[in-house]
Amino acid sequence: MTEDEKLLRLFQARDERALQAAEQQYGKLCRTMAYRILGDRQDAEECANDVLMKLWDTIPPVEPHSLTAFVSGITRNHALNILRAKNKAKRGGKQYDAALDELSPYLKSDEDLEDRLGTIALQDAINRFLETLPEETCMIFLARYYSMQPIKEIAAEHSSTVGRVQMILKRTKEKLRAYLKEEGLL
């Protein structure tokens, strides 16, 4: 049985040791990701604690296929919510800001995307766009803009160079811009 499976069992059995085990296994991931978005260690710590409680609340009934993906998804969304709530959306964590800056030249538009319908359309378009990408490119793109992993870290962890990762991201952003234009979202 894998560590994830053991952890899921604990959650499903409503065993409170699940929280401790989740902290050990995913605490660092939560804090790192939250810090990249929030840019504040205390906020990141609180966010990570919230995420653990959310895990407790959602498992069961949810049975995530990949705990890592599930935890990172909750962390990301919760951190963004905190950022919004604290009205810090303009300037957040270093990596979040950097990611915004990187995307800005490709996604700037005069039109606001305020309405719910627009948001759904964008979500749908993004998912379809990701499907068009080669697997590796897609992973690099998500690592940078979903996980907000620093480019340097992506390069180092995947035996590549910063320049190469940047180049892949640059091309992907260009494709994204073209794709969203075609979809009428830009």
Partner 1 sequence: MKPQDFMEALGSVSQEKLDALAKWQNAKTPITGEAPAKGERITQTAAEPVSAARRRGTMKQKVKTKASAVQFLPWKFGIGVAVAACAAIAIIIGGGIISLDKQMQVGSNVGTSITEQIAESTTDEVNAVIIVQHEPVEIIEKLISSGGNDSTMMKLPPEGAVQVLRSVEDAEACCQYSDENVAGQPFDFRNKLTEDVFAEYDVLYFAFKDEQKPQYCYSVDLAGGSIAADGSTLKLDFHALMFEPAHLPSDWCSVTEPDWNTYYFYTVPKNTLPDLNAIELSFEEYPLGEIPDEILANPHENVGVTDDGKTIMALQEYLETTKEYLNWLNSVPKPKYITWAEDTPVPPEDCTEVQEISADTAQSKQYVKLMQEYYTQKTGIPCDYDFSGMGKDLDETIETDDASIHIKGMVGCDWTMFVFFDVEPLNLSPENTEHFSSKSFSNLSDNMCLDCGILDANGNPIHSFNQTCRTMPAQQSLDNGIFHCYSIINNHSDEAVTGGEKYLGIGKRNGSGVPEYEISIPLDCLQSTPLQESSLAAIVSTFIPDNSEQCYYPQQMTRCAVTPFGVYSVSDQFKTVQPEWAVSCFWLEIPLFKLKATPLITQNDANGSVIRSFDLDGLTCWGSTVTNDTGISFADFLFDRPYETTKGMLIIQ
* Residues near partner 1 (CB under 8 A): 64-66, 68-70, 72-73, 76-77, 80, 89, 96, 99-101, 103-105, 107-109, 111-113, 119, 122-123, 126-127, 130, 134-140, 142-143, 145-147, 149, 155, 157-168, 170, 174, 180, 185-186
Cis peptide before 105 (omega within 30 of 0): no
Our CB check for partner 1 shows the closer of 42 and 159 to be: 159
Question: Are the beta carbons of 133 and 141 closer than 8 angstroms?
Answer: yes
Q: Which one, 19 or 122, has the nearer CB to partner 1?
A: 122
Residue 19 or 142 with smaller CB distance to partner 1:
142
Query: In the bound complex, what is the minimum distance in angstroms from residue 58's beta carbon to partner 1?
Result: 13
For 130, counting Cβ atoms within 10 Å of its Cβ (0-12 exposed, 13-18 middle, 19+ buried), the class is: middle
Q: What would the two tokens of residue 6 be?
A: 């053991």
> Is the separation of the CB atoms in 27 and 48 below 8 Å?
yes
Cβ 34 to partner 1 shortest distance, Å? 14
Element (H or E) spanning 131, and its range? helix 116-132
Toward partner 1, which CB reaches closer, 60 or 163? 163
Least separation in angstroms between CB 87 and partner 1: 13
CB of 174 to partner 1, least distance (A): 8
Residue 16 Cβ vs partner 1, minimum distance, rounded to whole Å:
25
Residue 165: enclosing H or E segment and its boundaries? Answer: helix 162-182
Which CB atom, from 15 or from 157, has the smaller least distance to partner 1? 157
Question: What is the CA angle 133-143-98, rounded to 5?
Answer: 110
CA pair distance 123, 154, nearest whole angstrom? 24
Task: Quote the DSSP letter at residue 185.
Answer: -
